């Protein structure tokens, strides 16, 4: 059974990149374009093994999303990775306190993405 990743980013380019990379490696990918749609997707999907979310998004940002995900008992243990930029150290900290599992710096290479996803979701 393939693992399912929820990719959340308001940028279609980024979503495409994450999806393409992960699908190529056999993952199933569900996409959402902000925190609100991500929560809906999470509710609708049968299972989500890993969540990868951007931080800066309209409607609901990634940090809030992480908090909301953590507030759901069934997702207390689901790995959540936040996509940050090199200059966004403060976001990384915020993500960490919100309960994110790890971070990925944008831009990332496909290898790195697969590496960390495999790491949090063996």
Partner 1 sequence: MADDQSYDLTRFKATYFEECAELLAAAEETLTRLQEGGASADDLNAVFRCVHSIKGGGGAFAFEDLVHFAHVFETSMDALRSGRAELTPHVADILVRGNDVLGDFVRAAQEETALPADHGADVKAQLASILTGGTPAPAPKPAAAAPPAPAPAKTGFATWTIRLTPAPGLLKTGNDPLLMVRELAGLGDMDVAVDASRLPALAEMDALAAYLAWTFTLVTDKGRAAIEEVFEFVAGDSADVVIEQLGDAVLAEEGDGWGLFAPMPPAADAVAAPVQAAAAPTAGAHPPGAKPAGGEAGAGGIHTSSIRVDLDRVDRLVNMVGELVITQAMLGQQASGFSIESHPELVQGLQELSHHTRELQESVMAIRAQPVKALFSRAPRLVRDLSTKLGKQARLVMSGEGTEVDKTVIEQLSDPLTHLIRNSLDHGIESPEERMANGKPAEGTIHLGAEHRSGRVIIQVSDDGKGIDRKRVLEKAIEKGLVDRGAQMTDEQIDQMIFAPGFSTAAQVSDVSGRGVGMDVVRRNIQDVGGRVVVQSTPGQGSRFILSLPLTLAVMDGMLVAVGNERYVLPLTNIVESLRPTAQQARTLVNVGDVLTLRGDYIRLIRLYDLFGIKNAITDSTRGLVVVVETEGGDRIGLLVDELLGQQQVVIKSLDSNYRPVEGISAATILGDGRVALILDVGALRIMGERLNRAQVEAAAAAQAAE
Interface residues for partner 1 in 51-80 (CB under 8 A)?
54, 56-58, 74-79
Q: How far is the CB of 21 from partner 1 (least distance, A)?
A: 7
Answer for which of 63, 65, 69, 100 binds partner 1 (CB under 8 A) is 100
Distance CA 17, CA 46 (A): 23
Distance CA 116, CA 122 (A): 10
Distance CA 102, CA 117 (A): 10
Contacts of 89 (CB under 8 A, 6+ apart): none
Site size toward partner 1, by CB under 8 A: 71
Residue 63 or 100 having the CB closest to partner 1: 100
Q: How far is the CB of 83 from partner 1 (least distance, A)?
A: 8
Using CB under 8 A as the binding rule, the residues of this chain from 9 to 38 that contact partner 1 are 10-14, 16-17, 20-21, 24-25, 28-33, 37-38
Question: 96: which 2 tokens?
Answer: 């960490």
Contact 49, 5 (CB under 8 A): yes
96 binds partner 1 (CB under 8 A): yes
């Amino acid at each position: 059974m393939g693992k399912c990743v929820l990719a959340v980013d308001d940028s279609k380019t980024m979503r495409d990149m994450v999806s393409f990379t992960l699908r190529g490696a056999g993952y199933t990918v569900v996409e959402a374009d902000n925190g609100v749609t991500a929560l809906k997707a999470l509710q609708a999907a049968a299972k989500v093994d890993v969540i990868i979310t951007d931080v800066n998004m309209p409607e609901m940002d990634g940090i809030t999303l992480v908090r909301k995900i953590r507030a759901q008992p069934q997702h207390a243990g689901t790995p959540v990775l936040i996509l940050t930029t090199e200059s966004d150290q403060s976001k990384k900290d915020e993500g960490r306190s919100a309960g994110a599992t790890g971070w990925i710096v944008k831009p990332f290479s496909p290898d790195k993405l697969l590496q960390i996803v495999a790491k949090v979701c063996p």
